[in-house]
């Protein structure tokens, strides 16, 4: 399943849209997500609702359960401060995903 987490942009064909971190995490827990594309700013000023938190969930979950399948991750956020930070975490998770394939 391909997940596109965003509150404003159009959903690409073939992707399932989520609007919140909670909704995204619930689907990630099914272990059926193959691709995840993230926006950071989801229409709230509350830092708990930022897309970055979905990456935190994946990182923590993989730490405690190395069998948790890391999806192919992309960031489509235009947040100039947060997007580079998200991509740094992405690189670390991508290395874990590649190791899972070996």
In the chain the domains, ranked by start, together with CATH numbers, are 2-101 (3.40.50.2300)
Spell out the per-residue pLDDT of the chain, length 102, in tens.
Answer: 999 999 889 999 999 999 999 999 999 999 999 999 999 888 777 667 788 899 999 999 999 999 999 999 999 998 888 888 889 988 888 888 888 887
Q: What is the pTM of this model?
A: 0.88
Q: Give the integer Cα–Cα distance in Å for 38 and 17.
A: 10
Backbone angles phi, psi at 18, to 5 degrees: -125, 150
Does residue 36 sit in helix, strand or coil? strand
């Amino acid at each position: 399943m391909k997940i596109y987490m965003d509150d404003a942009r159009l959903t690409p064909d073939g992707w399932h849209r989520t609007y919140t971190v909670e909704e995204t995490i619930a689907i990630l827990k099914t272990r059926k997500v193959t691709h995840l594309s993230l926006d950071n700013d989801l229409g709230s000023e509350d830092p708990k609702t930022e897309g970055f938190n979905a990456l935190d969930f994946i990182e923590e979950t993989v730490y405690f359960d190395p069998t948790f399948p890391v999806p192919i991750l992309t960031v489509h956020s235009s947040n100039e401060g947060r997007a580079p930070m998200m991509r740094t975490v992405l690189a670390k998770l991508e290395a874990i995903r590649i190791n899972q394939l070996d």
